[in-house]
């Protein structure tokens, strides 16, 4: 092979222009020797396609040009070598952020030197955003991610193929989600999907973005839309994966397990419990094989919540106990609030009110520690119901009024309506005339829900919207 190096970008542009001039599609050039993905990489200038295949493309197009026309000059080769060195260093720093920690990565970024106006400044800015996201410094992460978007739009359009722009919108959606701003999270995820380049780099982001949209839509109670996105993901699976439960496959194992988790939860909300069990068990199997502790914890908890709905309380307790065995191995601090809320529900159904109270208080502690407002409300509702059983009027009102305040503040309509209904029923039973106010508020809120086109609220007090795991990230 020649010691000279081909300018793959220029060669790709030439091939694409010649193909279009001859009114040919990529598929017209594909054969047993030249696959469509390889041709796509040639035209985009990506990958390490052999010179033999590059020459073959010229032959297929009936062109007499040879590769010497596209050889880089020595200075260009030196520049290419420098880019390769910078690329490896940046990949190394990103690896440090994910697998070592943000502090060490911050030191490495400070030591990195880039030429002025080099397009890799976009990459550096992106890594700074990831770094501050890991530190949970939302404001600084937010600023760096928006800087990336502006840099690509205004100065470095050649970096569109990296999918950094799409990745930044995805991470902005994650920041909003972690602050309980679900509608804004969904809007950013729509932008992430819009700007994703299918033939670009970081292809795994496609599924990360789609499953994140499912999570946000479920939080917004748009169950039909969430299921439609999951169906779209399943339709992309190869034919060999078209069995009922073996239909979700992604480059990211985290995304794959999120898909099974969300499908189980949506089926639970739709009362399709046998199917929900199948998807939960499939996810549990995959999580066990790949030792994905967080997803295993969450899937066992979801399976337990399904068995609560089936009134198979012994099986539910077995699932929750299995999840708690993993508590010391999980990294996501929000997960214990989920299982303790479900255990509170279980003990309440078993009429073990003291046990239910203990679990709800543990859920309350974890939810407040992690700013998980949804489970904070669920724990408060549970504590309110336990206080009703123990005839503790002041505690009933304290817990339920706080739950109502948070539900209204964060526009959690289902929880708001549930709390209003419990308050109205309780006050009526103890002869408090204020029950009429809560009953009227419930009626007005419920009517607004229906008129707003939202899904019908589930009034059965044992059917609650379960938690959703954090959207997948890299």
Residue ranges covered by each domain of the chain: 8-70, 78-198, 354-474
Distances (CA, A) of 400 to 110, 397, 425, 446: 50, 5, 12, 18
pLDDT score recorded for residue 384: 95
**Token pair in block for residue 152:** 């690509």
Instruction: Enter the pTM of the model.
Output: 0.66
Per-residue pLDDT of the chain (474 residues; tens, 9 = 90+): 345 677 788 888 888 888 899 899 888 888 888 888 888 888 887 767 788 888 888 888 888 777 777 776 654 444 555 577 888 889 899 989 988 888 888 888 888 888 888 889 999 999 999 999 999 999 999 999 999 999 999 998 888 889 999 999 999 999 999 888 889 999 999 999 999 988 888 888 998 899 899 989 988 888 889 999 888 888 876 654 555 566 666 777 888 888 888 889 889 888 899 999 999 999 999 899 888 899 999 999 999 999 999 999 999 999 999 999 998 998 888 889 999 999 999 999 999 999 999 999 999 999 999 888 989 999 999 999 999 999 999 999 999 999 999 999 888 888 999 999 999 999 999 999 989 999 998 888 888 766 654 444 433 333 333 345 667 777
Say if residues 422 and 380 touch (Cβ distance below 8 Å).
no
CATH number of 78-198: 1.25.40
pLDDT of residue 462: 33
CA distances (Å), origin 345, targets 151, 265, 300, 341, 383 = 50, 17, 16, 6, 10
Domain at 8-70, CATH class = mainly alpha
Residues forming a β-bridge with 6: 71
Distance CA 374, CA 381 (A): 11
Measured in degrees and rounded to the nearest 5, phi and psi for residue 188 equal -65, -35
Q: How far apart are CA 293 and CA 304, in angstroms?
A: 17
Q: What is the pLDDT of residue 99?
A: 86
């Amino acid at each position: 092979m020649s010691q000279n190096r081909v300018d793959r970008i220029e060669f790709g542009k030439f091939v694409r222009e010649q193909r279009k001039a001859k009114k040919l599609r990529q598929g017209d050039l594909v054969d047993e020797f030249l696959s469509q993905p390889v041709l796509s990489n040639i035209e985009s200038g990506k990958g390490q396609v052999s010179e033999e295949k590059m020459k073959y493309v010229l032959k297929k197009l009936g062109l007499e040009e040879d590769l010497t026309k596209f050889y880089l000059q020595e200075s260009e080769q030196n520049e290419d070598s420098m880019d390769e060195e910078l690329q490896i260093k940046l990949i190394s720093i990103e690896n440090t952020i994910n697998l070592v920690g943000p502090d060490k990565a911050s030191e490495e970024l400070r030591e990195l030197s880039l030429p002025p106006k080099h397009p890799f400044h976009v990459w550096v800015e992106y890594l700074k955003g990831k770094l501050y996201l890991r530190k949970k410094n939302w404001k600084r992460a937010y600023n760096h991610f928006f800087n990336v978007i502006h840099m690509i739009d205004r100065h470095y359009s050649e970096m569109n193929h990296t999918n950094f722009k799409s990745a930044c919108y995805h991470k902005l959606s994650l920041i909003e989600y972690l602050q309980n701003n679900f509608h804004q999270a969904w809007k950013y995820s729509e932008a992430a999907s819009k700007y994703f380049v299918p033939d670009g780099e970081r292809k795994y982001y496609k599924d990360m973005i789609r499953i994140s949209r499912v999570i946000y839509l479920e939080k917004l109670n748009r169950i039909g839309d969430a299921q439609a996105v999951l169906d779209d993901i399943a339709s992309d699976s190869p034919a060999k994966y078209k069995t009922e439960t073996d239909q979700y496959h992604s480059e990211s194992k985290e995304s794959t397990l999120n898909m099974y988790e969300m499908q189980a939860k949506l089926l639970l909300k739709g009362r399709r419990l046998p199917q929900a069990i199948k998807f939960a068990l499939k996810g549990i199997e995959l999580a066990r094989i790949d030792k994905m502790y967080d997803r295993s914890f969450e899937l066992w908890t979801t399976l337990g919540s399904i068995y609560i709905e089936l009134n198979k309380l012994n099986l539910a307790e077995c699932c929750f106990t299995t999840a708690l065995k993993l508590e010391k191995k999980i990294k996501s601090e929000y997960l214990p609030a989920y299982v303790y809320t479900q255990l509170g529900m279980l003990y309440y159904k078993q009429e073990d009110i003291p046990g239910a109270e203990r679990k709800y208080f543990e859920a309350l502690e974890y939810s407040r520690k992690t700013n998980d407002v949804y489970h904070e409300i669920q724990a408060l509702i549970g504590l309110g119901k336990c206080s009703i059983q123990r005839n503790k009027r002041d505690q009933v009102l304290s817990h339920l009024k706080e739950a109502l305040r948070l539900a209204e503040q964060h526009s959690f309509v289902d929880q708001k309506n549930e709390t209003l209904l419990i308050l109205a029923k309780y006050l009526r039973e103890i002869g408090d005339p204020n029950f009429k106010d809560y009953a009227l508020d419930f009626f007005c809120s419920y009517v607004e829900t229906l008129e707003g086109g939202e899904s019908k609220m589930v009034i059965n007090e044992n059917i609650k919207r379960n938690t959703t795991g954090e959207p997948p990230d890299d």
